Structure 1
């Protein structure tokens, strides 16, 4: 096991449900300095685990473990932290309670404060649903977080994004004949169609038109759909996917007792220096949505990743996109948050 477990105990979720013996899986990179102020929090995205974040961590990179103490907490529901697949009855599989982004960040805050005694976050960063967690960190703990850098992630699930996620969920509901009593019978093979649905949203029209899947070693479009999208999604537990989809569909940094749904107020509350990097061709976490958000954060730079890789411009696959993100993170980390 290349990660650690932080026991949360019995936690009362935002829904009011108590999840017993909850836990957060996490991995750290680098060392915490004496001042405890060299901390970067880098939450995982939908379907990802900590290893999928490692492309952005390394000596000489912005997230340099020789300079920073990097904490990568795993999203609740991803199979490592408390999830439908690893929780005993009565909260296993489709009985797993709904967990919000707000819940996730509260648990992550407990990890860094209770386990490590950290009171200052130099940077909260993340891709996709990791990006919304970085926004949530800035809104939930404005006096603690000095910088945020969401990339290909929005501060709430906008209506079209909700519809996209509903479409991703639909094959699983269809496999269960839209009867919740049948959902516990879902298997990995039911995820095949989910991958095919997401294939049309994860990358841009230009990516497919230019046949850039050939750069990844696939000769035909069908080979790419099977070799990447089907195989990737079939490795995921369908009940975990349904749990994470719910978290994604109801993500909103203002949907909590702090802001009571006032989204603009939540954005204005963020004191951190923000570098917001949407993928310029992202089809469901759109640059337009991010631009709206950036304009309402007091100290934000809006800097789109000019790429045909769509949502996956932030996934660590294309070297030019990776360099763009790393360069911007280096510039952000060089800024004095008090200036």
Structure 2
């Protein structure tokens, strides 16, 4: 749970275990272990619960610190906490690590995925791990909540891949979801998005160390993973941000000396991007990235072929917060889903996130809509 020390949330990571989890595609995972953390207190009626569903490279650490000495806070600490937009004096806020979480090497992440030990072989699953979907992430979260006696959500809120989970919650379990907030999100993966996501997977598959996913006893495909993370980072930012970075932080010049005289050398901006990706790759797993890509590619609200029918099943009040400069899940995704809800006679709102960070505006710039979030949660 969590406590408040010097106005900061201190949080403990909890572990949930489930046996014989049946996936959306009909496979069975003998044992699922996922981490979760919470902020605030569950009331006696257990009706003050807000579920935070995390983004692609994220995990359940949405707010606070694990220790007073931690250098960084949870990614949405700006809006989760005592007196904040998602007020932990009022709400019990909970978040769960996804299956196949990308940060499997992070000591604060607990997840089951391709890098986990297959109980049938006592070796890592590799590609024997079943394909998992956004619905599977939702159903694991549902099991965690039920283990706490929680049957209904005051709200489910998530950015990016988390927005997919949030809206799927609203479509799959409409009687359990009163409010849904989709940040930098989408209602389905369309042809453009599906093809774009494939570019994240390709470098890993081309790395000779990938070995068709069987690399756990040898050298991991770090080069491929690094290249994938470079793409993800650039896709998640805007052209304006990169160009400002080149001017202010990285001494970018088109005619830089090293790349001018040696084809093996890179421009300063590329070196910056690569070094950032290399640092992140140390706690991440290449196969896990492939599984998350596939979960996002397979996504459609309701996990059925009829998007309109799924939208019509939603009874929750909804709020969409797309980012104007988002080049990953471009604003048209949220606008189309919002309009589909309106056309279906549902109550929905949409407000734009402004700023130069592109897709990441939904993570680091979320506080600009503090008032809108607070008002939405009072409706």
TM-score for both structures, normalised by structure 1 = 0.88
Change (3 A) 1:218 1:4: farther
The 3-state SS of whatever aligns with 1:169 is helix
Size of the aligned set, in residue pairs, is: 324
Q: What's the counterpart of residue 257 of structure 2? A: none
Q: Which one has a larger percent helix, Structure 1 or Structure 2?
A: 1
Out of 344, 348, 356, the position equivalent to 1:300 is 348
After alignment, is 51-60 or 75-84 more displaced? Answer: 51-60
Out of 79, 97, 121, the position equivalent to 1:74 is 97
Contact 2:185/2:333 (<8 A) preserved:
no
CA RMSD of aligned residues (A): 2.3
Q: What's the counterpart of residue 265 of structure 2? A: none
Change (3 A) 1:124 1:307: same
Q: Map of 1:269-284 to 2, 5 A cutoff?
A: 269-284=313-328
After alignment, is 147-156 or 204-213 more displaced? Answer: 204-213
Instruction: Report how far residue 285 of structure 1 moved.
Output: 0.8
- The CA deviation string for residues 203-253 of structure 1, in whole angstroms up to 9 with x for no partner, is 111222233894xx6665345313433422443111211121111111112
Distance 1:67 1:219 in 2: 48
Distance 2:207 2:299 in 1: 25
Contact 2:320/2:334 (<8 A) preserved:
yes
Change (3 A) 1:54 1:210: closer
Q: What's the counterpart of residue 239 of structure 1? A: 287
Q: What's the counterpart of residue 200 of structure 1? A: 234
Q: What's the counterpart of residue 251 of structure 1? A: 299
- The CA deviation string for residues 75-117 of structure 1, in whole angstroms up to 9 with x for no partner, is 111132212223335462222111111111112112212x221
TM-score for both structures, normalised by structure 2 = 0.79
Q: What's the counterpart of residue 327 of structure 1? A: 371
Change (3 A) 1:308 1:19: same
The 3-state SS of whatever aligns with 2:192 is helix
Unpaired runs of 5+ residues, structure 1, are: none
Distance 1:174 1:227 in 2: 20
Larger radius of gyration: 2
Instruction: Report how far residue 181 of structure 1 moved.
Output: 6.4
Out of 160, 168, 171, the position equivalent to 2:203 is 171
